[in-house]
Amino acid sequence: MIKVNHLKKSVEGNTLQVLHGISTEFEAGEMIGVVGPSGSGKSILLQCLALRESWNDGDYSWDGNTVIRGGGKGARKYRSKCAYLEQNPSLNPEKTALKNVLIGQAGQTSLLRRLTGMVRSDDYMGAMDELEKFGLLDKAHLKAGKLSGGERQRVAICRALVHGAGFIAADEPVLGLDPHSADKVMGTLKSLCTEQSKIVVAALPIELAERFCTRIWGIFEGQLKLDVKGRRLTKEEKRLIDLE
């Protein structure tokens, strides 16, 4: 169980508040779609939840253990349990898919591994297992720069799993993908929740949130205006978050 209480976030030297006292909770196995108009605060919310951005105020706890109290930066040990998937995954285009999975993101991997690329045989096999699980085994030794957009996103997901992430925050993970690739990425994320009890919170187009998510959050002007079970939203609910 992850609990968020009164999350506030300001930018531009703390002069502009973009998140206004958001409170919610979620747990293992949930896939939450975050919907709302451009500029509503979806991306900064995901970054705060994944501990990629500091909080100005609010409490954050995992299974009753305090991560953040009253704002400030999150504890290092929790940061490694979170993965943040960007719209365009930050993979090294000159390294293979396998190497990208093994090296990991900053905060997930030791500095020595990031500098040298040295890995243990168990880590190598674990990475290969994840790539195979998501249909990427034949791409393992292909440079990331030669992968399609959907393949790069799935490599980024494999990287998060290999490095122990239990919570994945994904910022528009299917942006720019064709419908078939988008469905493959969404199916991959969904399977993490249903088969591995991971938590996924993703900023998504409303149509995909309705199709794939167990829960939908509607964000408008930095406030959580809607929190409902995953389903087709009503016109009134869409109006509430300025999507109708």
Q: What is the pTM of this model?
A: 0.89
CB atoms within 10 A of CB 122: 8
What residue type is assigned to position 77 of the chain?
A: K
Token output for 141: 């030794």
CA 43 – CA 40 distance, rounded (Å):
9
Q: What is the pLDDT along the chain (244 residues), one digit of tens a residue?
A: 999 999 999 998 778 899 999 999 999 999 999 999 999 999 999 999 999 999 999 999 999 999 999 887 667 778 888 999 988 888 999 999 999 998 864 444 554 555 555 556 677 888 999 999 999 999 999 999 999 999 999 999 999 998 889 999 999 999 999 999 999 999 999 999 999 999 999 999 999 999 999 999 999 999 999 999 999 999 999 999 999 7
CB atoms within 10 A of CB 204: 28
* Spatial CA neighbour of 22 closest among 4, 40, 2, 39: 4
Q: Is the dihedral of CA 205, 12, 26, 221 positive or negative?
A: negative
What lies within 8 Å, CB to CB, of 162 at 6+ separation is 101, 102, 104, 123, 126, 127, 130
